[in-house]
Amino acid sequence: MPRSATKTRQTILDAAYVQFRRRGYARVSLDEIAAAARVTKRTLYYHFRSKDDLLGAVLEAQHQLALAAFKTFGDHLSGTPEEIVQRMFDDIAVWSTRPDFAGTGFTRFVIELADLPGHQARVIARRHKALLENQLGEVLRRAKVPGPEARARELMLLSEGTIVMLLVHRDRRYVAAASEAALRLLKR
């Protein structure tokens, strides 16, 4: 029984996400993605014009999933400003203990594609990070944090930096250091 076009497209997206996430954009071929999705390369090209288009579609789908998850996460981030910061960095600490921890895909792809500022993956990542920052600003506004937009930007810098340092060093003391720095920012 043949698969529907929608199901086939989703199967390709899922396989591409796993491959890109594990190995990065440059180290994965379309042949490998097609094999992982159990489709022919011709079928893959029927749904996506190029590897760039496929990566864009993967990131767009992940953006939607991450926004939905962050809305739940945003609900989880409540209470005093100190409690919000503590939960935020506690979640990073827990996430970093997972065997498959590899940081955020959006950040990893932007770094990998640093020499291509107009690449659609970078455009999607920029939009994604800006929306997360805005949502964090809303969480801080509800918690009555003065200057919530500026504090959200600072917290994003600290959380992204923490994730990168965890990738580099695998040392969770960076989480504690970032959490302490975030708490000092809130006390200013």
Question: Using one digit for the tens of pLDDT, what is the confidence trace for 37-81?
Answer: 999 999 999 999 999 999 999 999 988 887 777 666 666 788 899
The pLDDT-based confidence of 188 (bands split at 50, 70, 90) is confident
User: Exposure string (b/e) for 144-171, b if CB count within 10 Å is 16 or more?
Assistant: ebeebeebbebbbebbbebbbbbbeeee
The ranges assigned to domains in the chain are 1-48, 51-187
Would you identify the CATH topology of the domain 51-187?
Answer: Tetracycline Repressor; domain 2 (1.10.357)
Question: Which 8-state DSSP code applies to residue 39?
Answer: -
| Statement: residue 2 has pLDDT above 90 | no
| Statement: residue 1 has pLDDT above 60 | no
pLDDT value for 73: 61
| Statement: residue 36 has pLDDT above 60 | yes
Q: Cβ(108)–Cβ(24) under 8 Å?
A: yes
Distance CA 124, CA 119 (A): 9
Listed as own residue / partner, the contacts of 57-64 with beta carbons closer than 8 Å and 24 or more positions apart are 57/13, 57/16, 58/13, 58/16, 58/17, 58/20, 59/105, 59/106, 59/109, 59/121, 59/124, 59/125, 59/128, 60/124, 61/13, 61/17, 62/17, 62/105, 62/106, 63/106, 63/124, 63/127, 63/128
Distance CA 25, CA 114 (A): 12
Question: Using one digit for the tens of pLDDT, what is the confidence trace for 93-144?
Answer: 999 999 989 998 889 899 999 999 899 999 999 999 999 899 899 999 999 9
Residue recorded with tokens 């209470």: 79
CATH of region 1-48, choose from 3.40.640.10, 1.10.357.10, 1.20.1250.20, 1.10.10.60: 1.10.10.60
Q: What is the pTM of this model?
A: 0.85
Residue recorded with tokens 């809130």: 186
